Structures are given as structure tokens and as C-alpha cells.
Structure 1
Amino acid sequence: MILSCLALSAAAVAQADVAKAQDQFNRPPRAEKLAVATIEARRKVLFQTMLDQPGNLDAAFEYAALSSQVGDLEGAIATLERMLIFAPGLPRLQLELGVLYFRLGAFKTAKTYFDAAVSSANTPPEVRQKVEEYQQAIARNSDITAFSGVISAGTRYQTNANSGPTAATVTLNGLNYVLSNEARKSSDVSLYTSGEFQSVIDLPMQGVTFKTGLRTYGEFYRQTTNLNLGYGEVTAGPSFDLNSIGLADYTLDTYGIMGGGVLSGDPLMVTFGAGALVGMRANNNAFYGIRSEYRYEHLYNSKDYPSLSNKSGDRFQTQFLSVYRLSNSVNLGFSGIVDRFDADVDYNSYWQFAATSGISVDFMSPISSLPDPWNVSVSTLLSRRFSDQADPMISNSSQQMTRWSINLTQTVPVSKKWSAFAQASYEKSWSNYDTSVFDNTTLAIGFKRAF
């Protein structure tokens, strides 16, 4: 029950002489391993040509391109910079140098060459377009400080606010018991608010930023006030653009975690830990990531929940996530999660496996006075949990539980910053423990503000 409340507050390694040669390069090769030897042979021929014919720009361009393919960016840069002596102000040459420095993570130097490439009135349109794309990427990586966030608030109706069992009678160790009114499935209305905030500070080291995130959640019920919940969590740590060490399009976020919550006015829990996220943007339309986290979660007993501390313990979680942009208006997302929780009391320890998927679609507003595109999204989650040992108060068998949920959200922008939304969701739980068999339908409306 309590963990359900907390869930609400809450997406990836030729020949020996070739390998030895690559050790001297500052980037992994982009060419296939079997092609590297052929490229190396051609580079030797071109290098001799450049020695014999210093002004042969075609040979120099080819040499630089092949050097880039095998990961020798510094060799490519040195070749192109020598070419500037023979062809000063050549936009194509300045563009290529800018791209190479960008791949090294030297954004300031790359910007100098990009600016020079478009300074001439005779710069070809295709060069200007390419420069603009890189300039935008540099701008995104060069903001000294960036802050973003979204807050939402609304009201929610649930047919089973307390995640109470479907049946009025449950079986405990072979005996039937009639549940009290407080333990049974109970509908209720609540007001809730949530926030997601992030700041990014550019550090002096090239390609390194410091990210801070804050998540908040609060919910207040009309009748089941013992579920009134407040939770906050802060994450903070450095983020590295791995382009600077040869892993183009990869990033590494590392962070510490600290959070805590209150339930019905009493301390609920504190948590602390650390995590890391390795992300790869394969292209402009696809992102992949692997996140791993460790948390210690300590829960406190209270008058309403006298044995909650038995659920304290260590959580280890790994998540694979992916996002695909099918078009300017359609996005898909998939993730898989492996969760291991080692509780202080063995029967609360478990393995959990989950998968989520979702689709988000923007479409033209049907109301002329609200011209911004509307959005509809559908997401679903399926999880399976296996407890280590039986709960002696309930059964001689360890618990197994399956949960499935589906959520539909319609968002309507009412201004550049504000949006209204309506949600409908359904959740169902199956288990060999009667106390964990339930379903819940939720209807919610509210507003969001992005900044």
C-alpha cells in the first residue's frame, strides 16, 4: 500500500598489427576492422604523395578523410591545417576542421573554424547548413547555466485509493478472515502536486557539466488521510561528454541521491545512494541508455504503520531505456528494469522485473483559439515480483505478484507555458497472497507549467 503511494511520486568490443596501430590514435575507428588495413595502406601512399607534392589538395583531403575514419583525428587536423597555407579561407576546409575539433570536444576552437567557414559571401549553401547544425549543437553544450522544470497540480479520483484487496475476505495461513473497513478497497478523491526541476552548470573542463535535479510530490486525500504523502528527492553530480575521449555521441551522468518523505504527518522514509547513466544518441531520432542505481531505504514505524521499518533495506536497480522519434509528431519509448531489494527482514526481500512502453502523438488543435498542437500519449507497464521467503503471517509459500497498468493522457496547451491535462488509468494486481490482489481505476484532471 505505502510502496504504491511512493511509486506515484515517481531506459548497451583484425589483425594484430592493425590493433597496435590503433593504440596510437586518439579515437576509435569508424571504419570496419577488416577495412582498416586497406585504409592504412592507402594512407601511406597518400602521405608520400603529400611529401612529394605539398600543394596537392586532393591528396591531402583524402588523407585527412581516411585518417578520420581510422580514428587519427589529430593526424587529420594537422593535415588540414597545413592545407590552409595553400588554400587560406576555403570554406570546405574550415568546415572539416571545425567538425574534427567538435569530435574532439574542443568546442571553442571548432566554433572559430565554423565562423570562418560562413564569413565569406561565396560560402556554398550546403556548407552553411552544415555549419548551422554544428553551431546549434555547440550552443547547447556551451550554456554556462541552464534551468528547466515542470510543475503540475490536479485532482484525482481512485476507485481503490488504498490498494485494498478486491475481496472482503482473505486467507491467512489457511484461515479465512474478514477485513476491517479500513483495510478494504476504498474509493477516494485527492489533490496532488508534483515537480521536476533540473539545473546544468558548465564546468571549466571541456565537455563536463554539473547537473542537479529535484523531484517533489505531495498528495492529500479527502477521507483516507492516513495516506497523505509528501516526498522530495535530490540528485547531483557531474556529466561527461564522452566525445572528448573518442566515444562520439555518448554521455555519462554520475550522481548522488538523497531523499525523504512524510506520511500522514509522520516521518516515512529517508533514502540515499548513487547512480550512473550511460547514454548514446545514435542519430537525431534515437536515444539509448543504461542506468544503474544503488539506494539504501530506511522506513520509520508510526502509529498507523507500526511495522514499516521491516521494509528497510538496500535496493539495486538497472534500467535499459530507449526513445525513438518516428516523425516530428510521433515518439516511441521502451524500457526494461531489473530491481533487487535486500530488506532487513528476509520475507520483504525480492527480485522484480518490469517492462514499460509508450507512444506520444502531437496533432493539430481542433480549436482555433488554442492553436498549439495537442498531445495524446498512451503508456503501459508490466512487472513481475518474486519474494525470497514466505511471510509467516500470511502463508507458507513465498509471494509472487504480477502487476499491469495502462495510462492515457490528453494534454491541451493553453499558452506557451501552461497546459491542461486529463488522465485515465487502470491498474490490476494478481498474487498468490489474497492481500495483494486488487485493481484500481483512476481519473484525473489538472494543469502543468513548464519553464
Structure 2
Amino acid sequence: MAKFGLTGFAGLVLWLGSGQGAGAAEVTRADQERLFAATLREPTNYELTFDYVRISSALGDNEAAIGALERLLNYNPQLTRAKFELGSLYFRLGSYETAVRYFKDALAAGDLDPAVRARIEAYLPDAEKRLSPSQWTGLLQTGIRYQSNVSALPDTGTLQVFGANLPVGPNQQKKSDWNGFEIAQISHDYDFQNQRGDTFETRFTGYGTQQFQLTQFDLGIVEASLGPRLALAPELLPGVTIKPYIVGNLSWIGGSQYLNSGGGGVSLRAPVTDAWTLEPGVEWRSISVHNPGFLIGTALGSGNLVTGTLATSYKFNDWITFEGRGIFQGANAFNAWQSFFQGGFEAALRIEFDPPSNLLPRRWTVMPYARVLWSNFDAPDPFINALLKRSDTDWRTGVLLDMPITGSFGVAAMFQYARTDSNIINYRTDDVSVMIGPNARF
């Protein structure tokens, strides 16, 4: 099931970049050229121009769309819809001061459509916030989640101990449960306003769960990072930035401390084209693990963890973005059987689409994703099998759905299937999880 999901996801990505996807783009560009010629013949045909703007925006040709809308305003300076569309386009381009001006001009019109007013009232506060040197943003979510394997135990009914397969007791079997959860993601960016674009970034993430029955698996995690993002060489390498940072986290399981870490890293962000960005990075953490006692044979041990990543994003058009990341990790734990090398990748396709009602101001998003990680451990665990080094393959695939209802509030849902294949039965697990709940953005 996990492999099928990963294959299907990869097929979708390949289709978007294949001849079929390119062929669809060529037809649309031909339509764009045809409509452009038509708008020149009929410059006061508003609907014709708006069709041209829609196709140009979908192709990511925002400059062409802006030019067409500004020509419309030359013929009719009171055209409210053109002002709204211009505000939206300038917002996407990061020209927030111009976006604010067009949004406010549109709001001042007496004949503003309720659906357009809702969209402006959703985006105008965001645009105004981007003009401040100190910017706070956040996502808060709560809800309920179901997991088929909360305990992350194998469903074989046996565990390997000292090389022998032994039946497990009722407290060490795969169990399902529901939980309530809370997520907080808060960011602060401070712009030094030094004409280079240098900023100072602070990030905080918190996650907590409360199991309905298996309370020994209640989970809590907090993590924070901070560091400057500096333009590397604005004149020679426009848009290229480097970010050194420090990072740390605390976590609890069942009310007991589990994993704490602290360290630092550095990442480089480089726009290759207007649509394609690369971001390599490396990070070191010192990890301290406290096994609460009911986690059998945990892979994690106190020591050092070094992670290298290569992230990329590619924007096919204004509606579809591919995001991927290669991951390479090396753990040097105090116990050799908890030291490992890990490699793999994760990928997601962010697909935006119009909501079912014009009165809903923001686009909805569906995001299928997949991840695979291969792990090879340095030495056998003498308590499990003194002759066999552990080797795992971890698969997971799923889909996220984000449904904004107003400018600040919405509902999000997720479905995920996760599976771990291992040469040791203790670590062969699978899990189905579903979550849904309201969220708020600021």
C-alpha cells in the first residue's frame, strides 16, 4: 500500500513535467497569445481582458497580467475588479506597498461585490503586515486524531529477545486509539532594513496529544530555532542567502522526559530560476534520550546527530508547486547498536484550487506527499540479536487538505499510511492515521 502510494505520487510528478504536461502548457500559451491579440483589437472588452489575465496568471506570467489590467484602468479608472486583481498580483510578487494601495482603492468603491470584498479583507492585513520590519505569523490548530498503532509495536504477536522469538504480553501488543491534539507554529522575522534584505528569523513549534485510552503515550514536543538570514552577495548573486542558526527541542511521552536536543546548523537558499529554488543545509545536534520504560528497544540513543539536507521547490504555475528534500543523517550514539546512517527523500505536491463558494476568500490546498528512509545500524543490539545488525526501510504516504473558511479561520484534515520494514521483527510496524480539526492563522 505504501509503495503503491509512492509510485502513484511519483507518476503524478512525472506527468506534470512530461510531454503531456508540457503539451497542456503549450496549448494554454497559444490561448494566451490568441487572447492577447484579441485584447489589442478590443481594448475595452473587459471580459476578454480578464480571460487573458486568468490564463497569464495560471502560467505564472504575472507581469503580462499586470500590464493588461493597467491598460484597462487607463480606459476606466473606476474599474473595481481590475484594482482587486492588480492588488492580488502585486501581493504574489512581493510588492506589498503597491498591493495595499490597489486593495484600498478597491475597498473604497461603493459597488464592490461581497465575494471580492471578502477576499480583499482576507489579504489586505497580510499585505500591511509585510510592510512592517517586525512580522509575526502563526498557525494554531486543534482537533482529533485516530491511529491504528499508537504503541508503534509489531502486529506479529512476538518480539525477538537474545535471538529468540518470544510471545508478548497484552501490554506489549499493537493497539489503536483516538487522541486530541494541538499544534502551534509561530514565526517572527525582523527586517534590518539595510537595503540588502537581511533579516533575523525566529521559529517555534509545539505539538501535544492526549490519548483517550492509552495515556502512557501522551506526547509533547517543543522546538525553537533562531538565526540571521543574510544576503550572500547581493550584486553578484541576487536572492542567494545564508542562514546560520541555533536549535533545540524538548519532548515528553506519558508525562516523562524522552528526547532533548540542542545544536546548530547553516543553510543556503539559492533561486536557480524564478520558479526553481535549491536549499542545501547541514545541522549538528547533541541528543539526550531518556527511555520512559515502555518503549521497547528504541532506536534512539544519547549522542550526536549530524543531518545533511538538499531541499528544492519548483513552481509549475500559480496553482501547483513541487517540494522535495533529500535527507542524509549519521548518529553517533554512546551505544554502538544505536548508531546509524540514514538516507532517503521526501516529496510533496502543493495543489491550490478555488473553494466551492465565491464567498470563501482564500484558495484551498490539497497536498499529496510521500517519504522513504533507509537506516543501517553500526552494530547488533546484544539484547535483541547479537549476530544481526538492524536494517530498516521506513515508508509513509498521505494527503493533507487545508480549507480556509475566512481570512483567519479554517479546517484542515490529513490521512497517512506509514510502514516500517526491518530485518528484525521487533521493528516491523504499520500505522494508519487520520486527523481533522479547526485552525487559525495570524
> TM-score normalised by the shorter chain: which range applies?
0.5 to 0.7
CA displacement at 1:305 relative to structure 2:
5.5
Q: Which has the larger radius of gyration?
A: 1
1:290-439 superposed matches below 5 A: 290-302=280-292, 304=294, 311-367=301-357, 370=360, 372-395=362-385, 396-439=387-430
1:3-42 superposed matches below 5 A: none
CA displacement at 1:361 relative to structure 2:
1.1
Pick closer, same or farther for the CA change 1:405–1:308 going to 2, 3 Å.
Answer: closer
Distance 2:94 2:402 in 1: 33
CA displacement at 1:292 relative to structure 2:
0.9
Distance 2:260 2:394 in 1: 26
Q: Which range is displaced more, 374-383 or 298-307?
A: 298-307
Pick closer, same or farther for the CA change 1:149–1:279 going to 2, 3 Å.
Answer: same
Pick closer, same or farther for the CA change 1:166–1:364 going to 2, 3 Å.
Answer: same
Counterpart of 2:7? none
| 3-state SS of paired residue (1:182) | helix
Distance 1:135 1:212 in 2: 21
Q: State the one-letter code of the partner of 2:394.
A: R
Structure 2, unmatched stretches of 5+, are 1-73, 75-89, 99-126
| 3-state SS of paired residue (2:426) | helix
| Residue in structure 1 matching 2:95, options 131, 136, 151 | 136
| Residue in structure 1 matching 2:246, options 251, 256, 262 | 256
Counterpart of 2:153? 164
Distance 2:393 2:95 in 1: 46
Pick closer, same or farther for the CA change 1:413–1:449 going to 2, 3 Å.
Answer: same
Counterpart of 1:101? none
CA displacement at 1:174 relative to structure 2:
3.9
Structure 1, unmatched stretches of 5+, are 1-120, 122-130
Distance 1:275 1:374 in 2: 34
Counterpart of 1:268? 258
CA displacement at 1:243 relative to structure 2:
3.7
Counterpart of 1:5? none
| 3-state SS of paired residue (1:283) | coil
Pick closer, same or farther for the CA change 1:198–1:372 going to 2, 3 Å.
Answer: closer
* TM-score (structure 1 length as normaliser): 0.67
Instruction: Indicate if the aligned counterparts of 1:237 and 1:256 stay in contact, CA closer than 8 A.
Output: yes
Instruction: Indicate if the aligned counterparts of 2:148 and 2:433 stay in contact, CA closer than 8 A.
Output: yes
Pick closer, same or farther for the CA change 1:289–1:177 going to 2, 3 Å.
Answer: same
CA displacement at 1:357 relative to structure 2:
1.1
Pick closer, same or farther for the CA change 1:306–1:159 going to 2, 3 Å.
Answer: closer
| 3-state SS of paired residue (1:249) | strand
Distance 1:426 1:134 in 2: 37
Distance 1:135 1:418 in 2: 23
Counterpart of 1:22? none
| 3-state SS of paired residue (1:226) | helix
Q: State the one-letter code of the partner of 2:234.
A: S
CA displacement at 1:268 relative to structure 2:
2.0
Q: Which range is displaced more, 370-379 or 318-327?
A: 370-379
Instruction: Indicate if the aligned counterparts of 1:301 and 1:307 stay in contact, CA closer than 8 A.
Output: no
| 3-state SS of paired residue (1:316) | strand
Pick closer, same or farther for the CA change 1:339–1:202 going to 2, 3 Å.
Answer: same
Percent identity between the two aligned chains: 20
CA displacement at 1:187 relative to structure 2:
0.4
Pick closer, same or farther for the CA change 1:204–1:408 going to 2, 3 Å.
Answer: closer
Distance 1:321 1:303 in 2: 36
Distance 2:350 2:362 in 1: 16
How many correspondences in the alignment?
A: 325
CA displacement at 1:272 relative to structure 2:
0.7
Instruction: Indicate if the aligned counterparts of 2:136 and 2:188 stay in contact, CA closer than 8 A.
Output: yes
Distance 2:437 2:93 in 1: 39
Instruction: Indicate if the aligned counterparts of 1:249 and 1:282 stay in contact, CA closer than 8 A.
Output: no
| 3-state SS of paired residue (2:272) | strand
**Structure with more relative contact order (C-alpha pairs < 8 Å, separation 6 or more):** 2
Distance 1:407 1:315 in 2: 27
Instruction: Indicate if the aligned counterparts of 2:284 and 2:307 stay in contact, CA closer than 8 A.
Output: yes
Q: Which range is displaced more, 250-259 or 370-379?
A: 370-379
1:228-243 superposed matches below 5 A: 228-243=218-233
Instruction: Indicate if the aligned counterparts of 1:298 and 1:309 stay in contact, CA closer than 8 A.
Output: no
Q: State the one-letter code of the partner of 2:439.
A: K
Instruction: Indicate if the aligned counterparts of 2:392 and 2:420 stay in contact, CA closer than 8 A.
Output: yes
Which structure 1 residue ranges, 4+ long, deviate > 6 Å from structure 2? 131-135, 137-142, 306-310
CA displacement at 1:244 relative to structure 2:
3.2
Pick closer, same or farther for the CA change 1:133–1:189 going to 2, 3 Å.
Answer: closer
Distance 1:344 1:424 in 2: 36
| 3-state SS of paired residue (2:238) | coil
Q: State the one-letter code of the partner of 1:164.
A: L
Q: State the one-letter code of the partner of 1:414.
A: I
Pick closer, same or farther for the CA change 1:307–1:427 going to 2, 3 Å.
Answer: closer
Q: State the one-letter code of the partner of 1:433.
A: I
Counterpart of 1:198? 187
CA displacement at 1:366 relative to structure 2:
2.6
1:201-233 residue CA offsets vs partner (Å, 9 max, x unmatched): 123655322111111111111122111111111
